[in-house]
Structure 1
């Protein structure tokens, strides 16, 4: 009887922790390009609540000094969003991670969020559109 009560109590505590964590966790939006070479994440800054950062990660195998990001277009519900750092025409070499924007508002749960990018690996110009999903 005591053993059953203890097991039930542990189960209730674990369930409570899971519910608490899911209610108070900061949502993130993530997406991977169709080619698998790019990953995007929009996350809240842990130090400055209410500020969100867009980060772009390169997962491909092109040498970093040959990789050039030409244009980014971040859209929420079909509308281009301008955030701090975000520019339509950019010209940077991506090392591993590029923080591409800072926002004061996060997308709503039912929003359609996407990032389009034009980039070069050497001489070839490529285009990708990444659809982000709330995690």
Structure 2
């Protein structure tokens, strides 16, 4: 009898745990986005290539990287929210302002740009 009750308890736990479903997030922003720029100062003899990279995942989180030439200088997590047609990207723990961008299509491909048209990132 004790074995039967234990078995029924295990079956009940398994059935109850399978009832929850995680909603699937198919947002088009999910993936890798990047922006490359040149940074050359007055005292520098050579330009430095700065590459920023955002990796968006389906849990409304992501990873942000900054490379100077090929050296990784910043690595941080970020959160993102999609409200209407606007994406808000926040960087907790990093001294960086929120990015508020729209996804649009241009000659360069699909881009994330602010309300003034300045490109934040291009889809890879």
Length-normalised TM-score, structure 1: 0.31
Which is helix-richer, 1 or 2?
1
Larger fraction in strand: 2
TM-score by length of 2: 0.33
Larger radius of gyration: 2
